Amino acid sequence: MNNIKNQFSIIDFENLTGIKAHTIRIWEKRYQLFNPERHGNNERLYQLDDLKKILNISFLQENGWKISKIAILTDDEMSATINAMVAEKGKYTEAINQFKVAMFSFDLMLFEITYQKLIAQRAFKEIFHEIFIPLLDLIGVLWQTGTIVPAHEHFVSQLIENKLHLNIEKIQTLPKKMDKTFVLFLPENEIHNLGILYIQYELLLKGYQTIYLGHSIPLEDLRILQTLYNPIVFITQFTVAPRLETLDDYMHTLQNVLLNRPQDECWINGRKADLITLYLHTPQVKVFPKVKELLNAI
């Protein structure tokens, strides 16, 4: 199998849908839902059309359909049924499924069509919370289990980042709240920026002054901002950096460099944020493992 994944194991299907491999085998035998190729030690290999079908079956099941009724539908009937249901409920689940298919097939057009349907009826804030965050969480799991390769993750993450930049540009007006300035940055070697970009979007919606600096910012470079703004809330995100063995030194430097004024704060978000509690030495540092927790503090 090459890096551009177009064949899937039964375990891939289990990871993508939550439907157990044993159940898929039973359905296959009882209802002839799939006809996978067999390789090597009789391992099943499914195609992209099979992926679309299992995602549709999963959607119908989640909305109360029994597998015996699903099995008698043709592929066209299944799609028509889902389209009718999506108009009333399940829009988010179906959109996530469409984004999954777009990811595996590197289908920019499918991603864009799905997004445009959503944005025509929903605010971007709602789309990000209800669809993009669950999708990104799932992508993290799929990457860890080997169901996807980095190219898949980068494809979807870049498209979501593009939408973030677009929506940030739409609301980038003169700030109304000047009592504090939020400075957003990522530590050196940190590459995941979607969370902190979305935080900037929310801050702008609320009328705050923000300065977004982006990837791999040395702490010493932030000193100059303290000569220009007062007070400052620095916001950063720890997902893959700093490394655990350097975390103590990083936090010590952060406190000495950024928090030498009592009115300034540093808010830390991300997967590694829970570890920060081991190195906290000042109430000026606040830790928010989840983006929603940080947003509630604004």
Q: Is the model's pLDDT at 89 over the cut of 70?
A: no
- Please name which of 174, 245, 239, 240 lies closest in space to residue 210, comparing C-alpha atoms: 174
C-alpha 147/C-alpha 292 separation (Å) is 28
Q: Which residue segment(s) compose the domain that 197 sits in?
A: 172-297
Task: State pLDDT tens for residues 244-258.
Answer: 778 888 888 888 899
Q: pTM for this structure?
A: 0.73
Domain boundary among 132, 167, 202: 167
Q: Are 80 and 212 in the same domain? A: no
Q: Buried (b) or exposed (e) across 59-88, using 16+ Cβ within 10 A?
A: bbeebebebeebeebeeeebeebbeebbee
Q: Are 160 and 242 in the same domain? A: no
pLDDT reported for residue 142: 73
In one-letter notation, the amino acid at residue 54 is I
Q: Are 149 and 162 in the same domain? A: yes
Strand runs labelled E in the chain:
7-8, 37-39, 43-47, 177-185, 208-214, 232-237, 265-269, 285-288
Q: Are 134 and 219 in the same domain? A: no
Domain boundary among 99, 132, 167: 167
Q: Are 157 and 270 in the same domain? A: no
Q: Are 54 and 201 in the same domain? A: no
pLDDT reported for residue 156: 93
Q: What is the CATH number of the domain that holds 54?
A: 1.10.1660.10
- Using alpha carbons, list the distances in angstroms from residue 83 to 42, 66, 86, 124: 36, 18, 5, 22
Q: What is the CATH number of the domain that holds 264?
A: 3.40.50.280
C-alpha 121/C-alpha 133 separation (Å) is 18
In a domain, 2, yes or no: no
Choose between 216 and 166: higher pLDDT. Answer: 166
Q: Are 184 and 60 in the same domain? A: no
Q: Are 247 and 225 in the same domain? A: yes
Mean of per-residue pLDDT scores for the chain = 85
Q: Are 161 and 186 in the same domain? A: no
Q: Would you call 247 exposed, middle or buried from its count of C-beta atoms within 10 A (0-12, 13-18, 19+)? A: middle
Using 50, 70 and 90 to split pLDDT, how confident is the model at 86? Answer: low
Which tokens hold the place of 250?
């990083």
C-alpha 39/C-alpha 166 separation (Å) is 45
**Reduced to 3 states, what is the DSSP secondary structure of residue 37?**
strand
Place of tokens 């939550």: 18
In a domain, 189, yes or no: yes
Order of strands across the sheet that contains 177-185:
208-214, 177-185, 232-237, 265-269, 285-288
Question: Residues 207, 245: contact at Cβ < 8 Å?
Answer: no
pLDDT reported for residue 277: 64
In a domain, 62, yes or no: yes
C-alpha 277/C-alpha 298 separation (Å) is 20
Omega within 30 of 0 (cis) for the link into 175: no
In a domain, 1, yes or no: no
Q: Is the model's pLDDT at 1 over the cut of 50?
A: no
Q: Is the model's pLDDT at 124 over the cut of 90?
A: yes
Domain boundary among 105, 133, 167: 167
Domain count, the chain: 2
In a domain, 193, yes or no: yes
State phi, psi for 286 to the nearest 5 degrees.
-120, 140
